[in-house]
Amino acid sequence: MEERPRGVWIWRMANLASDFLDRLVRCNVKRVYLKVCDGRSRPMFWEFQCTPDIIEQFRLRNIQVYGWGYHYGTSDDISDQVLAVSQALSAGIEGYVLDVEDEVKNPETHPHLRALLTQLRQIVPSGALGYTSFGHPEFHREVPWEMLNEFCDLALPQIYFEKFRFKPTNEEEVQACLQAHANLQLTKPIMPIWGSESNVANPADAAELQRYLDRFPGSSVWRIPNHGERGEALRLDYAGRPLVPHGAGSLPTLPTLTRILNRRSQGEDVAALQRALEARGLLSNGEDGDFGEVTERAVRAFQLQAGLSVDGEVGPDTWAALGGSFEVERPEQGVLARLADIAQNEGARHLKWQNGDSEAEKYLRPFREPMRRLGQLGEQIVFFNWCAAFVTWCCRVAGIMIPEQPQGFWATMALVESWKFWAQTNGFWHPTGSITPRRGDIAVFEWHDGDAQLDHIGVIRGYTSGSQIIQTSEGNRGNLTFNGDRELTNIPGFIRITG
């Protein structure tokens, strides 16, 4: 995982205590976020506190400098905003964070913000363009979150829990903010900003801020207090221990994981997961070996902290980030292992089909012309399941030759029934109960709706012998690619491609 230094924010250096640089060193600060421009300043670039000499003073103390500036979504000065950021980069800053808040709630500003982001993306180093805005995005849905997520590498939400009052405790507020990012599928690494301000009724104390700093790599504190002003930012240790709560000691040893853990999983490996989450301050209910809703929320919070795909499941990447190793038994080594890996990666992306320009159109596109030739694609007749198109795409990428249309059948492989016919013809079909399903097999589903037709299809990611639950990667699950689980009672058969 790429290192994300914990840091502190600077508004105006002229208002700080004269020894603030030495105090940053004593606090082990490795990154500062220095204001370098403002959309309403004239000139926009703050040369009075962003010069090569100033940046060098931080570097001499082994402190990295990211710049930040407030942007208002205006249209007539985009080139000036880009120039200001460019001047800051020339002075030596190593990354840039856009501060966008109330002004960009107006939809009329969104085209201007996109134009600005497009140009900044060309000049800010890869991996170093971030945005900061409200801590709980679902309370501010007018902000163009998807656009910010599209262009930026990092998200720095302003989780000023000391100012919030929408949950009974600060921890619940923090978790609600993190979950809101997951609910909106904001996938960029989350690096929260904690508040330490003089103008709040119940300011966070140093001990609580320290716990949050230690838990979240890349998190930071707003802001260094002005000379004589109250604030805890310079009473903290920014060295931190990644993903370990303050004062927690060593982390528990994890066993080698041999399956994917998710809701309804049970066993000693789940208990070990719960111990690891509890050691990081993400779980407080103790271990019971039962992967329920509370454990899933803690997993999602950890995945957000670690910059992983947030799906609430514990697979190879999440287990490794927790400090364990993952070794699934794979008797299907080879092409079926590749199929499962490809499907799982696509499922984790949560791609949505909206129109022909959607990335998910790549699954459907190969079938559009064959179906037109057959007269099966039109306003009235559509024999098209994009779940089947998804499985076909994954198979072909894995190197499995899947035909457009099974010989002797009336429809393309974009129909689930076509998959069953093709599998039976080639000896790949296995009714439920005749084999033990395994990673890389394909499952077909029938919802028992009385029409005797297959309804859905997906690739198996994992299965524990004797369980009634199977882990799958699917297309068109709620119009998304998705990694989830299914009950065996809805599966009439499996397809295992051999030879």
**The pair of three-digit structure tokens given for residue 373, joined into one six-digit string:** 């030739």
H/E run at residue 145: helix 145-151
3-state secondary structure of 482: strand
> Residue 422: which of 449, 395, 399, 451 has the closest Cα?
395
50 or 376, which is more confident: 50
Q: Mean pLDDT across the stretch 111-139?
A: 96
User: In the predicted model, is pLDDT for residue 119 greater than 50?
Assistant: yes
Q: 35 vs 237, 269, 442, CA distance in Å?
A: 22, 46, 53
* Cβ atoms 412, 405 nearer than 8 A: yes
pLDDT digits (tens, 9 = 90+) for 50-68: 999 999 999 999 999 999 9
Residue 382 has pLDDT above 70, yes or no: no
Q: What percent of the chain has pLDDT over 90?
A: 58
pLDDT at 7 over 90: yes
378 pLDDT higher than 90: no
**Residue 139, both tokens:** 């309370």
Given a cut of 50, is residue 137 above it in pLDDT? Answer: yes
Q: Which residue has the higher pLDDT, 261 or 465?
A: 261
Cα torsion angle, 253, 255, 259, 263, sign: negative
Nearest of 495, 466, 470 to residue 484 by alpha carbon: 470
What is the C-alpha to C-alpha distance for residues 121 and 72, in angstroms, rounded to an integer? 18
Average pLDDT rounded to a whole number, residues 249-275: 82
pLDDT digits (tens, 9 = 90+) for 264-321: 788 888 999 999 998 887 887 777 888 988 898 889 888 877 767 778 888 888 888 8
* Predicted pLDDT of residue 250: 60
What was the pLDDT predicted at 394?
95
Question: pLDDT tens across 427-446, in order?
Answer: 999 999 888 899 999 999 99
Angle between helices 386-397 and 335-348 (to 10 degrees): 130
Reading the block at residue 87, the tokens are: 């001047």
At residue 307, the pLDDT reads 66
pLDDT grade, residue 332 (50/70/90)? Answer: very low
Q: What is the pLDDT of residue 433?
A: 86
Encode burial over 325-358: b for 16+ CB neighbours within 10 A, e otherwise.
ebebeeebeeebbbbbbbbbebbbbbbebeeeee
Give the model's pLDDT for residue 425: 93
Length of the chain: 499
Full set of structural domains in the chain with CATH = 7-235 (3.20.20.80), 268-322 (1.10.101.10), 335-495 (3.90.1720)
| pLDDT of 46 strictly over 60 | yes
Higher-pLDDT residue of 357, 131: 131
CA 187-387-346 angle, 5° bins:
30
* Contact (CB, 8 A) for 309 and 303: yes
Token duo for residue 479:
């119009």
Q: 84-88, 241-245, 406-410, 471-475 — which is least confidently predicted?
A: 241-245
- From start to end of 181-239, where are the E strands? 193-195, 220-222
CA 442/CA 391 separation, integer angstroms: 8
pLDDT at 32: 98
Q: What is the mean pLDDT of residues 341-368?
A: 92
How much is the mean pLDDT over the chain? Answer: 89
Q: Looking at residues 399-423, what average pLDDT do you find?
A: 93
DSSP H helices, 323-439, are 335-348, 361-373, 386-397, 416-426
Q: Where are the alpha helices (DSSP H) in 198-315?
A: 206-215, 268-279, 293-306
